[in-house]
Chains A and B, each alone.
Chain A
């Protein structure tokens, strides 16, 4: 085995906060060798990001650090900022989590990339450095790199910006690349592309890589070794196969078993323990399924729904220059006791659809019927009544509960609108809290006193408050940690069978949907491209886009994951053999 590039010994990091000293990392030790890919996995607050910032020497001033970090034999805690900055961006580079805020908004993309070249190689001329930036952009798969280099970050999409970050990270052929949740903010197809890009960049450079993530699926396809962290401490470390197939620690097992997976057939041959807990969710969700679908009453019908937003220009005189077809003629229906999933990537129109339904008004075109009644011709009173029958659970449980209201009042709010008596409200609050597995005593507490999963349970309870027929779930688990997500999904599945309520489950995550929904509609660019029973869509997808989506979902099994994906980095361009017509330095030599 080769010498370790990085060795971390007994690292502890603490911050002094108002609540006292917070230990972000405790006694963490690990090594990374040349060419090795290490994944550091943990849920939010496990200290995984802080440990990597410590390696970069980028912790905020107030941090109290002990232990040792050696980078290629040099102890970084004894180095000055100037000495460290010679390493950063050259020997060791980093890709950050949020590509939207990680680039300076006021400088051109090309200049930001060429800067990293010029910092470490001041001898390179400005001209050459910007040529190099264009080569790098091409290498990471940005079309029209010459034009794109002249643009500003706000003109790039999230995935493109993350490619730019990777271009900067590989510019000086570093020995170690740290990627901190590089794909968390991205759509699943973009995530697959970015991960493939990172992997092939690593292979091309032979650099060691540390991937920090909460997503076990991503880990399986990327890492050689895995390090699991929980509550600032190391839980377990081992080869990727060992972690996925024979985890030693209970926490690792819990973490893996809560991972939803799309390849969750009844007779999965995968040896990975991932997803075992989710199988029970699926069992609960489908157990009580006696009456055939056709004989059950329809709760929601959406017919040929359109929503067009005009694109206007001009501040004084508004003129329409085009239109954005956010929802472009979609139709579906939901029967009683059924869960339908509406799946698509960001910007596909699923949120618009959901808002159109929740408005309970006449849509621009098409019709929405609830219980057979069109929403168009409702009187004010009828609409208010209907608000109790169609309810919504929001994505972010931190934002959807008023922080200034005790839980009890939050639950009473919809009942008050419907004119429930005080006694009935109190009884129902108690029942609701029990139903979502919280305690009735919690009614007097404020949302901030609860964890994310508990708050989402309150959100579900509020949606249940007035015995609705249909609950619209807007990405109800995407803001939650994976182990918490499993619990909320189990609750939702259980409520569906117990109370006979219907769900419209809007999500971007196919693997989550797989476990809970009866039917799936896949949306893209305002249209439904494929629709059918869940197992059918998963096992036999018809539309190209559905197949693409399914292929992009990471599989939490290292053997399966490794068979997928290919090389995406343009090594030719990286070496400077640009395909661009304009002669670059080497290009002219070649000619």
Chain B
């Protein structure tokens, strides 16, 4: 709800539901397992490749994943080098050419304030990328902390149920709070200090849905027999979380973080667009879009296209990862 269009949220809840529903594919269930029994000998067969390797292969076999990856890499390179090499800076005014279309000097044209659209787009891309990646990591961390703790303690007696209840209500509270409005409150204050404040700020209002899913996944794992087995062996709870629970949700976390990058970029862009995000003397893709002029399409189409390319390719990668992890569920069918 925080971000104008959070791609993850409900999608993941649905994924989770499918993961929990082993009967989803009832007919194929009865088929012989595709992995043959390990041969008595030592020859390491194809089946014994690790899960990570399998993920990597499936990911690279997916053309849309590779396309997404290539585009993201190109955009990252552009964000790093383009501002260094291009002759205009984001705040250099060329008022004589204001509102002129793309030329060989101004690649993407000039907006009504005389700013060069290409220069601003590339610098904006830089900041949007940093904010996207940073926010996604921080969001995941926050969600991981709240989600696994709430999920783990929820079956541990009265005290555990209380802590879990408190954390769940915290999640719900943050869901009811109109995050966008609070971001609008906080952002101008913190922007005075540094634009990097945008990262924790966005993270604080976007961890809830991930935490909710992680809590549910942890609850499922806590009830599995292998976690119960470690309890009956006397293994310490923290060790259990680190050794048994986190490795089993790791791949999901990676996917969610990937999709979180695009969600954070969308959130930041929206905020900057209405003037409560990145402030002068910095530019983000949202601030570039802000200078749109319907009668001069080049003022908004280039930043919008770069933004769309970035978000779409990040999402392509995220969904391809999800497919690689679990071909029978989630986005492979969307």
Residues of A participating in the B interface, judged by any CB pair closer than 8 Å:
15, 17-19, 22, 24, 44-45, 47, 49-50, 53, 59-60, 98, 101, 231-232, 358, 383-384, 387-388, 391-392, 394-396, 399-405, 413-414, 417, 439, 441-442, 445-446, 448-451, 454, 462
Contacts and interface: CB of A to CB of B under 8 A. Distances in A.
A409 B247 CA distance: 14
B126 to A, nearest CB: 37
Closest 6 CB pairs of A and B: A19-B34, A45-B32, A400-B225, A387-B234, A414-B233, A404-B247
Contacts of A450: 37-38
Interface string B35-74: 1011010100001101100000000000000000000000
For the side of the interface on B, what is the size category?
A: 20 to 34
B39 to A, nearest CB: 10
Interface of B: 23, 27-28, 30-35, 37-38, 40, 42, 47-48, 50-51, 224-230, 232-235, 243-244, 247-248, 327
B32 A394 contact: no
A60 B247 contact: no
Contacts, number: 101
Q: In this complex, which of B34, B38, B227, B234 has the most chain A Cβ atoms within 10 angstroms of its Cβ?
A: B234
B48 A449 contact: yes
Contacts of A396: 225
A231 B32 CA distance: 8
Contacts of B228: 394
Given A18-B34, A402-B248, A392 B28 contact: no
A391 B232 contact: yes
B225 A399 contact: yes
A442 B31 contact: no
A337 to B, nearest CB: 22
Contacts of B51: 403-404, 446
A395 B31 CA distance: 22
Given A22-B32, A44-B30, A392 B229 contact: yes
A18 B328 CA distance: 11
Nearest to B234: A387
Given A392-B229, A394-B225, A413-B235, A49 B247 contact: no
B233 A101 contact: no
Nearest to B45: A449
Given A394-B229, A404-B247, A450-B37, A53 B27 contact: yes
Nearest to B47: A449
Given A392-B229, A449-B47, A45 B37 contact: no
Given A98-B23, A414-B233, A449-B35, A402 B28 contact: no
Given A394-B228, A394-B229, 15 more contacts: A22-B34, A60-B28, A387-B232, A392-B229, A399-B226, A402-B226, A402-B247, A402-B248, A404-B51, A404-B248, A417-B235, A445-B48, A446-B51, A448-B35, A449-B38
Contacts of A445: 38, 48
Contacts of B230: 413
Contacts of A101: 23
Contacts of B248: 402-404
Contacts of A446: 48, 50-51
B225 to A, nearest CB: 4
B37 A454 contact: yes
Contacts of A395: 225
Contacts of A388: 233-234
Nearest to A401: B226
B232 A18 contact: no
A392 B48 contact: no
